[in-house]
């Protein structure tokens, strides 16, 4: 490929034009996403259907076992629900007696997912500044599982940096224990719970939630389950692989906390 002077000149001008798009990146991204979103919506929902079918085929043998386990878990959760309803009644009575206000819930804005950036832990969602989305809003699933934080807002769409990104770390706690640590992303949907002091308890199967020590995310949002604990008695801290409850192959929608 011999590059002539004319071709070099055209390339130089083209690169300058492309480089200048960085100054109006939001506008360029918004125009691009308005063209490509219908196609990406189609492919995202088609991908969901294919993924659901494939999972059904490959997990057919385990379905009976999984069903039995879910029935047991359902019964256990019903029992817990009854207990917690009783406790909530008592709590409300106490609040009334002491004149305390109940904590207010979140206001949520539903946003359809329509893509994920290749090689990056960034979700593309179909809500933008026109819908009231702001930079820094926290994204969760319908089951209050933490997904990430809005990092770029366009007029009709937004980008959510997932907590599995290597750029994300935040304080987390273990449900039912006084154990806390720093949770950080390892990329490709993987999470690592780190800096858990040796004197605190941590076991496989523990549920990891957000805590609000550093006020990075609202507290008590579900994150995942401890899969494997690493460390020894001579080390100062435990660390653990956490399997994230969020699975982008199954979920079409996130909720942004307003």
Partner 1 sequence: MITAFLVALMFAGLMMIQTSFLPRLALWGFVPNLVLISFLLFHLSPAFRNRYGMFSAVAAGLLLDFVSGRFFGMWVLILLAASFLLEEFLSRYVRTPAIS
Interaction site with partner 1 (CB under 8 A) = 1, 3, 7, 11, 14-15, 18-19, 21-22, 25, 28-29, 32, 36, 39-44, 46-48, 50-51, 54, 114-120, 122, 124, 151-152, 159, 187-190, 248-249
Pick 149 or 159: Cβ nearer partner 1: 159
The kind and range of the H/E element at 124 are: strand 122-125
Find tokens 């273990």 and name the residue: 174
Q: How far is the CB of 45 from partner 1 (least distance, A)?
A: 9
In whole angstroms, give the CA distance from residue 68 to residue 105: 34
In whole angstroms, give the CA distance from residue 148 to residue 135: 12
In whole angstroms, give the CA distance from residue 112 to residue 48: 13
Pick 21 or 69: Cβ nearer partner 1: 21
Q: How far is the CB of 98 from partner 1 (least distance, A)?
A: 49
Pick 19 or 99: Cβ nearer partner 1: 19
Q: How far is the CB of 116 from partner 1 (least distance, A)?
A: 4
Q: How far is the CB of 115 from partner 1 (least distance, A)?
A: 4
Q: How far is the CB of 117 from partner 1 (least distance, A)?
A: 6
Q: How far is the CB of 191 from partner 1 (least distance, A)?
A: 12
Dihedrals φ, ψ of 93, to 5°?
-60, -45
In whole angstroms, give the CA distance from residue 85 to residue 74: 16
Pick 159 or 171: Cβ nearer partner 1: 159
Pick 10 or 213: Cβ nearer partner 1: 10
Helix (H, G, I), strand (E, B) or coil at 191: strand
Which long-range contacts does 151-154 make (Cβ < 8 Å, 24+ apart)? 151/122, 152/26, 152/29, 153/128, 153/129, 154/26, 154/29, 154/30, 154/33, 154/128, 154/129
Pick 48 or 218: Cβ nearer partner 1: 48
CA dihedral 6, 12, 13, 14 (to 10 degrees): 110
Pick 112 or 131: Cβ nearer partner 1: 112
Q: How far is the CB of 72 from partner 1 (least distance, A)?
A: 29
Token readout for 87 is 């406790």
């Amino acid at each position: 490929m011999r590059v002539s002077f004319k071709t070099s000149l055209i390339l130089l001008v083209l690169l300058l034009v492309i480089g200048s798009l960085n100054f109006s990146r939001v506008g360029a991204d918004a125009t691009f996403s308005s063209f490509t979103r219908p196609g990406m919506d189609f492919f995202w929902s088609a991908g969901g259907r294919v993924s659901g079918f494939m999972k059904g085929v490959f997990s057919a043998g385990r379905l009976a076992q999984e069903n039995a386990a879910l029935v047991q878990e359902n019964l256990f959760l019903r029992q817990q629900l009854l207990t917690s309803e009783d406790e909530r009644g008592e709590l409300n009575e106490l609040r009334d007696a002491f004149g305390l206000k109940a904590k207010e819930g979140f206001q949520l804005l539903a946003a359809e997912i329509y893509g994920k950036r290749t090689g990056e832990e960034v979700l593309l969602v179909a809500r933008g500044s026109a819908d009231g989305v702001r930079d820094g809003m926290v994204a969760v699933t319908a089951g209050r599982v933490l997904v990430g934080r809005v990092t770029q807002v366009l007029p009709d769409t937004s980008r959510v940096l997932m907590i599995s990104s290597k750029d994300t770390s935040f304080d987390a706690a273990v449900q039912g224990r006084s154990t806390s640590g720093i949770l950080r992303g390892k990329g490709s949907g993987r999470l690592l719970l780190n800096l858990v002091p040796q004197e605190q308890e941590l076991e496989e199967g523990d549920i990891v939630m957000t805590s609000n020590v550093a006020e990075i995310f609202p507290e008590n949002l579900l994150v995942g389950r401890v899969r494997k604990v690493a460390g020894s008695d001579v080390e100062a801290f435990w660390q653990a692989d956490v399997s994230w409850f969020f699975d982008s192959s199954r979920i079409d929608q996130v909720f942004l906390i307003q």
